[in-house]
Structure 1
Amino acid sequence: MNALLEVRDLDVRYGARRVVDGVSFTVGAGEAVGLVGPSGCGKSTTALAVLGLLRPHSGSVRFSGVELTGLRARELRALRPRFQPVFQDAYGALSPRREVRHQIAEPLRVHGRWRAADGPARVDELLERVGLSPAHGRRLPHELSGGQCQRVSIARALATRPELLVLDEPTSALDPSLRAGILNLLMDLQDSLGVGFLLISHDHAAVHHVGDRILTMRDGRLVA
């Protein structure tokens, strides 16, 4: 399997404190890799470094053969459609005053991919892809459940047809019944779209449900 994401000797520090210590792993094209560990172990910091939202002290993050660390903002922005984040707080990730259909369309507009002729149909397709209806697109976030909001966040992440989703605790704020629905959705997306995942969670059961491989992190290091 070709490596889509390659992380080598990643080292992230906050002042003198080393939060991520020599972490190395790969995610293959279409592969779901779980990164599990207790709160404070450095897994979310690893996600931020992978996404280019935090600059590591040292180490390498390569996406599709391109070194991300040290890229200029414009160069990183050109690659962003190919790897997208999904965060834990779905409500917080959405604007409370905009209908969700406009928020799903936003990545297409930002990256110059919006076309008036077929853009609305693309948004409806994305809503249906994540188990919602086009009618949900005309609602505000507070009119949706937590699980529906997380589905909207996933739809927005899929808008640019990424090859990799980096999901940071995407089910931890949900009730158990809703968690199962999101995990099943992720498995379906992997099968139907071939998208790869880096799924970060403290919930071992959730990660084992979805992941092709499981990595365990503790005190900033991979231990298994």
Structure 2
Amino acid sequence: MTDDALLDVRDLVVRHGDVTAVDHVSFTLAAGETLALNGPSGCGKSSTALAVLQLRRPDAGEVRFEGKELTTLTERELRPIRPRMQPVLQDPYGSLSPRRRVRDAVAEPLKVQGRWSADDGPARVAELLDRVGLDPSYGERRPHELSGGQCQRVGIARALASEPRLLVLDEPVSALDPSVRAGVLSLLADLQDDLGLGYLFICHDRAVVGHFADRSVEMREGRVISSWPPR
């Protein structure tokens, strides 16, 4: 593992039955850096992301986050680490409950992690919404009252509530219109500059990768076939 690596993945293997979805994939990611996993649908990008987050335990390999090997930890041991590794998902509507107000979605991580209080919790939710470019009054709305871009900003605010070091961005703009996409990518860039976040950016669009990522690795059939810039 390199000294400045926030995330270090070594020889990662994920199998789905007889199919090897991720075949000895390795990469590193530094704090404040964006690393893209690029490739067509079905190449193993999302399986890699789930294994990094330990939402799907890998069949082999290592995942080191902030110097700690995650694959050998129990679920109880992972619990205090999970807030520092947060996903932002592809479907901005599907990632939010249609029955819950935006304020409740953003507050949920604070409540789960025992960091909610009636005195300062609502102000923290308002601060997070403002941080992602939404008026705090949007907290009273439900997802169907928001656009796709606004819902994705809510998802980012919810991820930020946990004060993460790493965001795993799984096709976060692929479902958005081009003009909206640019605004969300600009927001993510600003947040990275301000907070020093590391981004594992899952994307199939090479143009977006070339614009947004510092480095990229290209996957095919579960394997890394090239990296940019070349090492």
TM range (shorter): over 0.9
Aligned match of 1:198:
200
| Distance in 2 (alpha carbons) for counterparts of 1:123 and 1:209 | 31
Answer yes or no: is the 8 Å Cα contact 1:11–1:22 preserved in 2: yes
TM-score normalized by structure 1?
0.97
Residue by residue over 1:130-166, the C-alpha shift from the partner in whole angstroms, topping out at 9 and shown as x without a partner, is: 1101011110000000000000000000001100000
Aligned match of 2:39:
37
Answer yes or no: is the 8 Å Cα contact 1:32–1:196 preserved in 2: yes
Q: Which amino acid aligns with 1:47?
A: A
| Distance in 1 (alpha carbons) for counterparts of 2:118 and 2:28 | 38
Q: Percent identity?
A: 67
Answer yes or no: is the 8 Å Cα contact 1:183–1:206 preserved in 2: no
Aligned match of 1:137:
139
| Distance in 2 (alpha carbons) for counterparts of 1:125 and 1:204 | 34
TM-score normalized by structure 2?
0.95
Aligned match of 2:161:
159
| Deviant stretches of 4+, over 3 Å | none
**1:1-224 aligned within 5 A:** 2-224=4-226
Q: Which amino acid aligns with 1:181?
A: G
CA RMSD after TM alignment: 1.0
Answer yes or no: is the 8 Å Cα contact 1:32–1:211 preserved in 2: yes
Answer yes or no: is the 8 Å Cα contact 1:124–1:137 preserved in 2: yes
| Distance in 2 (alpha carbons) for counterparts of 1:207 and 1:97 | 34
Larger fraction in helix: 1
Residue by residue over 1:23-55, the C-alpha shift from the partner in whole angstroms, topping out at 9 and shown as x without a partner, is: 000111111111110000000000000010111
